[in-house]
Chain A
Amino acid sequence: MKKKHPIGITIILLLASNTKAYIDPGTGSMIFQMLIASLVGLIFMLKLYWKNLKNRIKKQLNKNPNKKKNE
């Protein structure tokens, strides 16, 4: 997946227009998203960090045997 935004970046294109949705987004559903925003955001960050950490460890483990072979 091409990454167009680094982790945590919260810049969204600001539009002058503030048009409402053409479907009913549901007041309760919109408020609920804001209430759980921090929770889902945090879990997402932790998942990404964990994924990155796993990848780094994997890379490190893959590098070492090669080094040994060359030595």
Chain B
Amino acid sequence: MNETRSSFRDPDGFVYAEEGVVYRQINQSYKINYDHLIESGLYDELVENDLLISHSEVKKKELNENAYKIIQPEQISFISYPYEWCFSQLKDAAITTLKLQEKALEYQMSLKDASAYNIQFIKNKPKLIDTLSFELTKKGQPWVAYKQFCQHFLAPLALMKYKDARLNQLTKAYLDGIPLDLASSLLPAKTSLKYPLLLHIHLHSKSQKKYINKPQKTNKNMSMNSLLGLIDSLKSSIKKMRTDSKSSHWQQYYEKEINYDKKSMEEKKRIVKYYLKKAEPTNIWDMGANIGVFSRIACENNVPTISFDIDHSCVEANYLRTKEKNEKNIMPLLLDLTNPSPGIGWNNQERMSLIERGPADTIMALALIHHLAITNNIPLNLLASFFNQLCNKLIIEYIPKQDSNAKRLWQSREDIFQHYTKANFEHEFRKYFIIKEKQEIKGTQRIMYLMVKK
């Protein structure tokens, strides 16, 4: 039995894994809340509306004397974190959380936490995965998770929208969301003219400062109408937030920068399709996926595909497309491969590193290797061992130094890349992989490989 290292804060239960299956123990302390969640019909309504993960109660030996029930939730193949989401993913997760709170209030329940880590994208839909997040409302009590919601959702969304989309990386530094005083000081002054941001960030942060360590006054109550008003105010302000339509250099890559003529591009797609057929992947990570052109080929046969890219606007465009086309098997995520998501939180174990969440069955690394080897000076031997850790099968494109795109990366620098040759590339990758297929993309100097781990 492995207790999950991220579910220790809530005393009402915990998540654990047994033989690869994830279970959740519900403690006696949560009995009254769990029974109400199920018997009131709230659980059914939330599951039906794709807001909450489904589960079944299972008869298993309780792990300790506190146990009330053991449930087996719908299994999630890949856990992603808010610092890996683009603006619209965080926005959708925020709206899901507010919809959950609205529904819960209808059934005399309320969310006792509003952590962004409690939301996961399952078949590209954000759902609450923490079944223990609901508690019976207490008369007149304000929303206990209001502060957490503002820190986990509203503050990063406002910073991404009104300052810079890259500021979502602050959520990596602040595990319990971006402190509101920090968000307030970073946001442009004009945001004080926007009523919801003035209220929920600027004035809220001032209130936090004023009442810090002061005993709470309890003579005032919060009516249901005010609670619904609070949620409505947050929801309508978040719904109005949209990303700018400005596209980045990388987003235009396939329109302007691409180093293939139409024929070569078709040839590359043909080779990728052929390699995928040979690899028979059970899941795919497409590294450096840009807006997901090849991820879409990868997931044609309903293979779950994660479409990683370093550029926020690419991930945003990719995600919006998955929504528009109702694509359920592609999950776009933000990732800097030279600094992949680390293990963070308590004991460095609360949120898993990228490597811990692997290996993937198949990795696609197309038009990527020259950026890592040349722009970032990562030696080929380290690249080969990195991919060896992360996958069983590898579809990789080698781009020689003479390629015009690769040339641009080293031409204005000292040429320290003598080792970057096709022979060295094959030599280093052969240490870990068997080269099953190798084809040159006609009309280019680029070579596509299909490799299988030794």
Contact present for A42 and B224 (CB under 8 Å): no
The verdict on A65 contacting chain B, using a C-beta distance below 8 Å, is: no
Alpha-carbon distance between A2 and B146 when the two chains are bound, in angstroms? 24
Contacts of A26 in B (CB 8 A): 147, 208
Number of interface residues, chain A, beta carbon within 8 A: 40
Complex CA gap A31/B233 in Å reads 17
What residue in chain A is nearest B107 (Cβ atoms)? A4
A3–B102 alpha-carbon span in the complex (Å): 11
Across the interface, A14 reaches (CB within 8 A) one of B139, B217, B224, namely: B139
- CB of B3 within 8 Å of the partner chain: no
One of A8, A23, A31 near B148 (C-beta < 8 A): A23
B225/A45 in contact, CB under 8 A:
yes
By a CB distance below 8 angstroms, the chain A residues around B216 are 27, 30-31
Given contact pairs A27-B216, A31-B207, A42-B229, A5 touches B113 in the complex (Cβ within 8 A): no
CB neighbors of A among B39-81 (8 A): 45
- Residues in B with CB closer than 8 Å to A49 are none
Contact partner of B108 (CB less than 8 A), chosen from A13, A29, A34, A44, is A13
Pairwise interchain contact A4-B106, C-beta atoms closer than 8 A: yes
Q: Across the interface, do A32 and B207 meet the contact criterion of CB distance under 8 Å?
A: yes
Given A28-B209, A44-B229, also A22-B217 (CB < 8 A): no
Residue of B nearest to A11 (CB): B224
Contact check, A22 vs B12: say whether CB atoms are below 8 A apart: yes
| Cβ B138 vs Cβ A41 within 8 A | no
CA distance A8 to B262 in the complex (A): 62
In the complex, A21 has a CB within 8 A of chain B:
yes
Q: Say if the beta carbon of B136 comes within 8 Å of chain A.
A: yes
A40 nearest CB neighbor, chain B only: B229
**Interface bits A3-17 vs B (CB < 8 Å: 1, else 0):** 111011111111100
Residues on B with C-beta less than 8 A from A60 are: none
- Would B222 and A37 count as touching, CB distance under 8 A? yes
A23 contacts B113, C-beta separation under 8 Å = yes
Task: Assess whether A28 is in contact with B222, with CB atoms less than 8 Å apart.
Answer: no
- The answer on a CB contact under 8 Å between B144 and A44 is no
Q: How far is it, in angstroms, between the C-alpha of A7 and the C-alpha of B147 when the chains are bound?
A: 26
A34 vs B144: C-alpha distance when bound (angstroms): 12
A54 touches B (CB below 8 Å): no
> Is A5 within 8 A of B207, CB to CB?
no
- Contacting residue for A9 out of B10, B112, B209, B224, CB 8 A: B224
Cα separation A24 to B113 with both chains bound (whole Å): 10
Q: Which among A2, A11, A30, A38 has the greatest number of chain B C-beta atoms within 10 A?
A: A30
Cβ of B240 under 8 Å from chain A: no
Q: Are A28 and B224 in contact (CB under 8 A)?
A: no
Residue of A nearest to B29 (CB): A19
CA distance A69 to B207 in the complex (A): 60
Please give, as numbers and ranges, the residues of chain B lying within 8 Å of A10 by CB-CB distance. 223-225
Interface residues of A in 38-69 (CB under 8 A from B): 38-45, 47
A33 and B148 form a contact (CB under 8 A): no
Q: Which of A15, A33, A47 contacts B230 (CB 8 A)?
A: A33
Q: Does B256 contact A (CB under 8 A)?
A: no
Whether the pair B210, A28 counts as a contact (CB closer than 8 A) is: yes
B367 part of interface (Cβ distance < 8 Å): no
Measured in the bound complex, the distance between the Cα atoms of B212 and A28 in whole Å is 6
Instruction: Output the nearest chain A residue to B143 by Cβ-Cβ distance.
Output: A33
Q: What per-residue 1/0 map shows which CB atoms of B182-204 lie under 8 Å from chain A? A: 00000000000000000100011
Cβ contacts A to B, 28 pairs, < 8 Å = A2-B45, A2-B106, A4-B107, A9-B225, A10-B225, A15-B136, A15-B139, A22-B10, A22-B12, A22-B112, A25-B146, A27-B211, A27-B213, A28-B207, A29-B147, A29-B204, A29-B208, A32-B203, A33-B230, A34-B142, A34-B220, A37-B220, A37-B226, A40-B229, A40-B230, A40-B233, A41-B226, A44-B226
**12 other A-B residue contacts (CB within 8 Å) besides A37-B226, A37-B229:** A2-B106, A18-B138, A22-B9, A22-B113, A23-B112, A26-B147, A26-B208, A27-B211, A27-B214, A33-B146, A37-B223, A40-B226
Q: Which residues of B contact A (CB under 8 A)?
A: 9-12, 45, 106-108, 112-113, 136-140, 142-148, 150, 199, 203-204, 207-217, 220-226, 228-230, 232-233
**Taking beta carbons and an 8 Å cutoff, which residues of A are in contact with B?**
2-5, 7-15, 18, 21-45, 47
